[in-house]
Amino acid sequence: MIDFSDPQFLIDPYPALKELRAHGKPVWHEGLQLFLAPNHEHANAVFRTKTLGRIFKERTPEFEWEVFNWLHSDSLLDSEPPKHTRLRSLVAKAFNRQKIEGLRPDIERLTQELIEDISIKVNDGKTFDLIADFAEPLPVKVIAALLGFPASDEHLLRPWSQSIVKMYEVSPSLAHQEEAKTAAREFADYVRGLMLERKVNPGSDLISDLAAVEEGGEKLNAQELVATCVLLLNAGHEASVNAFGNGMVAALRRPDQAELLRSKSRDIAETAVEEFLRFDAPLHLFERTATQITELGGVTIEPGQKIAALIGSANRDADVFDRPDDMDLLRDPNPHIGFGAGIHFCLGGPLARLEMGISLPALCERFPNMELASEPIRRPTFVLRGYESVEIQA
């Protein structure tokens, strides 16, 4: 059975995941005490089956984990109907298609600013770090602009987010647990302060919109508003950073795909972004808990038992994708489940697609001769799969 802490597995999990798919049904993992759904059909069903809920289990002792716990229990990600229905309706009213499209000028401006900074390094004959210099700061800056965070405070956001999301891994260390508690308190206090300020002096930012939004007499309470803003940063930018980094590394390692980026990046941006999300998924595992006896893919899941959709594995399923282990930036159709499915389809998915659809061709057109300057450094994680550093010679 898969060892999720094995360094070789973390470098390339796909051969082991292929073996897992060969079972043709969800597989019980004794170590994790849950079922793994590696096939596309079953992973998709995990997201869509109503008797499989996203049941958040509060961490203890409660007084240490209080803020971390409500940041999750009062968020869209870790709630179920009817609470999830109410929250999503309110949040979607403020974070709508018009709001997202309205960010296009900001994304274009921020992209160009980062590219100009990179150009200084390139003109001096230096390499640049695709993650630290581009993929990482862009979504943070975009979400900071969306929420109306002062530019002077942007440097606080990524460390808070990274500390919290390390808790989503299979076995977070005690040190990571302590960092997550501290980050949750500091991040929540920071957003709460902005919320109180915007209630007195509302602006055009999303915090102001969330504070004002109302549906059928319902409004977001203070904890729900703070939890929504923290979730948007944590989930929103992690997906963008890792999808962009994973996709670029994979493309630059394949001469035919690198040539497509060099010559046609603007024409193929839409399909390229989808293939980035499919080929080396930024999120690999998403747990659900049975609320009643559930039959799925030939196995019985008892109430209280968990099953995890293995997203990266599902996106390599040969029953759904032609040549699944080949990257094809022209792939169409591409029914990957990189953003989930059903009621928990990622609310920030359209924003991530817009960011990458703008930033990918902008970077490739400015630096058409990009190549890997050294072996990229992987993050030693599975659930959130990405790179710590990717040095690029342009």
8-state DSSP, 29: E
Catalytic residues: 235, 238, 240, 346, 355
Cα–Cα distance, 47 to 350 (Å, whole number): 18
> What does the alpha-carbon distance between residue 191 and residue 75 come to, in Å, rounded to a whole number?
14
Residue 173 CA from chain centroid, whole number: 21
At 390, list the tokens. Answer: 């990717």
For 335, the token pair is 């029914």
| DSSP strands (E only) in 74-186 | 128-129
List phi, psi (to 5°) of 119.
Answer: -60, -35
Contacts of 51 (CB under 8 A, 6+ apart): 290, 291, 292, 293, 294
Determine how β-strand 387-389 pairs with β-strand 285-290.
unpaired
369, 239, 157, 63: CA torsion to nearest 10: -150
Distance, CA of 227 to CA of 223 (rounded, Å): 6
CA 34, CA 16: separation in Å to the nearest integer?
Answer: 17
Opening angle at CA 203, ends 199 and 205, nearest 5? 100
SS3 37: strand
Separation CA 359–CA 269 (nearest Å): 9
Distance set, CA 86 to CA 82, 92, 158, 355 (Å): 6, 10, 29, 28
